[in-house]
A and B are shown apart, each in its own frame.
Chain A
Amino acid sequence: MNMEKELISKKELLELAKISYGQLYRWKRKNLIPEDWFIRKSTYTGQETFFPKDKMLDRIQKIKNMKGDISLDDLANMLSPNLMEMVMESENLINRNIVSKITLDFYTKERGKYKELNFEKILYLYILDKLFGSGKINFDEGKTVLNLLENYYPQYKGKSCELNFLRKLGIYSCFLISKPSEIHFENGIKIVKRLNLSDLIEELKIKMV
């Protein structure tokens, strides 16, 4: 798996995305662009800043698209990996196609019935829904994932992290790891699913608003 991402220099980025220094710095001030995307490297002209190209272009597109509708501060809130303080009725989750009924039923069976769910719980449901939807993970395995998330995800509060689900010879396991980091496994291990939770939180926030 190639974890190396293509980098783009600040100058090229401004040119390509048609934004100005002023805009870029304003977005940085408003935390619309995560600090760890600013990668400093020494070049012959001294230090220059580089960005992960695809992520950055995608983010700029999002900011440009949403800018008209909501304030920069709200936008920053939506794009940050922090959890929102928001509750939603479980029926609404299904009506608005955020979580499938099967996943919600699974959750109800495991954890009892909730009329309203907070953002954290909705996030776990959303993750499970993605896993079940991929067809690669069954309910039994979903229980393990749910336990992992409930026990350990709160420790990552506000930091980027990734959920990995792997299999070897029919045995499965899963873990959370903070990003950015690099992991390598022996060839017998198959990574069945790898989910960037910050991306999911972002998606989910956009769906819920």
Chain B
Amino acid sequence: MKNSIKNLKIHGQGISTGGKYNTISIMGEGKINGHVDCVNLKIYGEGEIDGDLKATSTVNIKGHTAFRGNLEAKNVKIQGEVEVNGELIADEAVISGNISINGDCNAEIFTLEGGLTIDGLLNADVLKINLYWPSNVHEIGGTEITVKKEAKLSFLGLKDIIMPSGANKKLTADIIEGDNINLENTQAKVVRGNNITIGSGCKIELVEYKDSFKNEEGAEIITYRKM
């Protein structure tokens, strides 16, 4: 019986329990206790999921949300700030804002404008990061890895007034490994890959490349060698 799976709506303020839902929408402030299985999750405002969340389709967040367990969905779209205590697993994740993950982050496509803190491995096939805030990742792995300083048209024009001259807009990582790597404003101990371009604002202790290596102006590299 398909009808037995209900939608959950919290408009205003409310607390609910986990379980199986079709679409969950929280507008305002909502908390869900326990594990959740749903198709879609939409949070506009403030949300808290006190367990693992699994969405077979989309998770869309505008505002602030804390996931106390894992967050698993086909598509994850975040505008605002999200904390994940477990792992983030998605086919595609598009984030503008800030995300912090205590575990690993697995996505086929991961696009971020903003900042991130990941204690584990950030593993994505295509990874694009535009840095607006200081960011930290333990390890990055994937096929295409691109890290840029913020784009010219910042999504918050006001940001430079609030946080003047982004001197700290740096990504810090221990290890970055991928097929094609293109970095700016990145500080890393080791970068390994086939084709590597290290751009301005980078400080890399060791670069190991297979096919090509480009060292652009403004990059500081202590050692590099061909594998």
State the majority secondary structure of interface residues on B.
strand
A69 → B minimal CB distance (Å): 21
Question: Chain A contacts of B206 at CB under 8 A?
Answer: 45
Q: Which of A1-32 contact B (CB under 8 A)?
A: 10-11, 15, 20-22, 24-26, 28-29
Q: Which of B178-203 contact A (CB under 8 A)?
A: 178-179, 189-190, 192-194
A25 touches B174 (CB 8 A): no
State the majority secondary structure of interface residues on A.
helix
B124 → A minimal CB distance (Å): 8
B123 touches A25 (CB 8 A): yes
B196 → A minimal CB distance (Å): 11
A45 touches B227 (CB 8 A): no
Complex CA–CA separation, A20 to B143 (angstroms)? 8
**Considering only CB atoms, which chain A residue lies closest to B108 in the complex?**
A29
B178 touches A21 (CB 8 A): yes
**Considering only CB atoms, which chain A residue lies closest to B177 in the complex?**
A21
Question: Chain A contacts of B208 at CB under 8 A?
Answer: 11
Q: Are A21 and B174 also in contact (CB < 8 A) when A26-B125, A29-B106, A46-B190 are?
A: no
Tally A residues with Cβ within 8 Å of B: 14
Any chain B CB within 8 A of the CB of A155? no
**Considering only CB atoms, which chain A residue lies closest to B140 in the complex?**
A25
Contact with B along A23-64 (1 / 0, CB 8 A): 011101100000000000000011100000000000000000
Question: Chain A contacts of B123 at CB under 8 A?
Answer: 25, 28-29
B179 touches A21 (CB 8 A): yes
Q: Are A11 and B143 also in contact (CB < 8 A) when A25-B177, A26-B125, A28-B123 are?
A: no
The count of A-to-B residue pairs whose CB atoms sit within 8 angstroms is 48
Q: Which of A158-203 contact B (CB under 8 A)?
A: none
Q: Are A47 and B179 also in contact (CB < 8 A) when A21-B141, A29-B106 are?
A: no
Question: Chain B contacts of A46 at CB under 8 A?
Answer: 174-175, 189-190
Partner of B193 from the list A15, A21, A47 (CB cut-off 8 Å) is A21
Question: Chain B contacts of A10 at CB under 8 A?
Answer: 177
* A24, A25, A45: most-surrounded residue (chain B CB, <10 A): A25
* A22, A24, A28: most-surrounded residue (chain B CB, <10 A): A22
Any chain A CB within 8 A of the CB of B47? no
Question: Chain A contacts of B108 at CB under 8 A?
Answer: 29
- Nearest 10 A/B pairs, CB to CB: A22-B143, A25-B141, A22-B179, A46-B189, A29-B106, A21-B177, A20-B179, A25-B123, A21-B178, A29-B123
**18 A–B pairs (Cβ distance < 8 Å), ordered by A:** A10-B177, A21-B141, A21-B177, A21-B178, A21-B192, A21-B194, A22-B125, A22-B178, A25-B141, A25-B177, A26-B125, A26-B143, A28-B141, A29-B125, A45-B189, A46-B175, A47-B174, A47-B175
Supply 11 further A-B pairs (C-beta < 8 A) apart from A11-B208, A22-B142: A11-B192, A11-B227, A21-B141, A21-B143, A21-B178, A21-B179, A22-B144, A25-B142, A28-B123, A28-B141, A45-B206
